[in-house]
Structure 1
């Protein structure tokens, strides 16, 4: 398992992909590979086994708790430390100050954003599709944190050349932040634009005082061997982005 380099000592960030040496076979070709989502009509037992395989891998680095969410393209963020929710939390952001607690976000084109402070005493993980970015999931997650995040990491998401949106999406961002007009290129069809989720996230993070932004150089849509992509294959699995502190 590869971890992101350049983070404060004791912080571990990574993202799963399609390939995994312990991925279980499935008769459903759409879901072959290391799917971690329960909501995509995969066999629940297979998904739970994949999640246990991942937990066992992370346990070697001191992880003794893992939190998944029911993600809803919202701006809802929860802080989770010692408590273990009996019913899956709904929302799109998680914050923790507890060491050994891995925060999980699932994506397949949407943008995973991991945040943390310089002291390695608090981390956050959020799921940002265009709706979440436009309505404030990044701002809400930073507001939920008890400390100022100094760094962020952007996981694999759909890149600008592959992400066509309608004029209403551009309007949603530019009404809030006029400077974001630069993150939209005219598309092939009239009234269509290609949106740069990475540029939008970097702009918002900079406004919030996050000095260092790493990652943001992958394309879930184009890198078909590496990542699941909902735009490429409507029926598909999900990757997980994780963060934890030792």
Structure 2
């Protein structure tokens, strides 16, 4: 009887660890099964609203600026345009110029636009604000009511800096002007005729004719197209 009791106790002690081990393995396998199940990925579709039309104009011509140097038509009412432009100019004499333009524009009803613009320039290690401009434009009619959709543009520039680089070499005897300091950037006004058209619903075209005149300084004039 004693031997049987001792043998039964040994079997019981060995059975408890085996049972606990089996329970632990079952818990691990049960928790690892969900991790091994196949997962499906859902496609994420990002959508955005198209640029609103300005009086029937296509979206590409409803953004105020057609390129860095060309404007087109007007903005939709109560919409805004923020622009950061960079231009680099190289000369045969002297260092190059780097010009930065910051612009904010707002569309108004009845095909009007108003805008403010700041021009910054960097040349030969120095730089700063050059001009502050106020702009306005008005489209003569809704889009495609008149061929080429003419728009009148007017701008007044306030010179707030100094001329850091002359476009032409200084004339002989120009040292006297340098002794009194660099010349101020002159105030000027500019008018433009903006033309824009879409052909075959595939080709967008725009052209600007402009005339600019300085009110101070040497009172230079400039006209052309882009």
Larger Rg: 2
* TM-score when normalising by structure 1: 0.24
Question: By percentage of residues, which structure has more strand?
Answer: 2
* TM-score when normalising by structure 2: 0.25
